[in-house]
């Protein structure tokens, strides 16, 4: 028997298999962006803890104080591509709403500490995201030139 608030059982073996395969880090969109940034000569920390929080960012440029999150459309409630499951709908709606609120809280706390936060949806073009990230990191590091 499950306790209130705990994860409901999977609706099917296929759904369970999808959830088990879901990666927390090193997703395809993250890897594509990381490859492009690395090719530009940029170095960063991956899945790094954030200062003063029990949370992590997908990419961290510590000296520039830039944190990058590559948000999955399903998990973070993308207004364009986010979907709502039919099974356990109320639980999932709450889960996604809590994720979005935690994202906003993280953004607020980092901004208050002088960080720039970039959120990229998984469906965004990696080239566009990498160019935006590179531009912001360079703007926060005077004297650093923007390669390529």
Tens-place pLDDT, residues 122-142 = 999 999 999 999 999 999 987
Residues 6+ apart with CB under 8 A from 113: 51, 52
Q: Is 89 exposed, middle or buried (0-12, 13-18, 19+ CB in 10 A)?
A: exposed
Q: How many domains does the chain have?
A: 1
Predicted local distance difference test score (pLDDT) of residue 46 = 97
Residue with tokens 């510590």: 62
List the CATH number of the domain containing 117. Answer: 3.40.960.10
Q: pTM of the predicted model, to two decimals?
A: 0.82
- Angle at 46 (CA atoms; ends 80, 134), nearest 5 degrees: 65
Structural domain of 23: 18-70+101-138
Predicted local distance difference test score (pLDDT) of residue 2 = 44
How crowded is the C-beta side of 59, counted as CA atoms within 13 Å? Answer: 32
């Amino acid at each position: 028997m499950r306790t209130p608030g705990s994860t409901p059982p999977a609706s099917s073996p296929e759904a369970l298999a999808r959830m088990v395969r879901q990666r927390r880090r090193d997703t395809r969109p993250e890897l594509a962006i990381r490859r492009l940034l690395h090719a530009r000569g940029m170095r960063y920390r991956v899945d790094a803890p954030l200062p003063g929080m029990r949370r992590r960012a997908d990419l961290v440029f510590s000296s520039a104080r830039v944190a990058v999150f590559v948000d999955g459309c399903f998990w973070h409630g993308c207004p364009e591509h986010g979907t709502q499951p039919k099974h356990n709908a109320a639980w999932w709606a709450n889960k996604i709403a809590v994720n979005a609120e935690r994202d906003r809280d993280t953004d607020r706390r980092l901004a208050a500490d002088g960080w720039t936060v970039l959120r990229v949806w998984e469906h965004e073009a990696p080239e566009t995201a990498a160019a935006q990230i590179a531009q912001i990191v360079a703007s926060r590091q005077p004297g650093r030139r923007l390669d390529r």
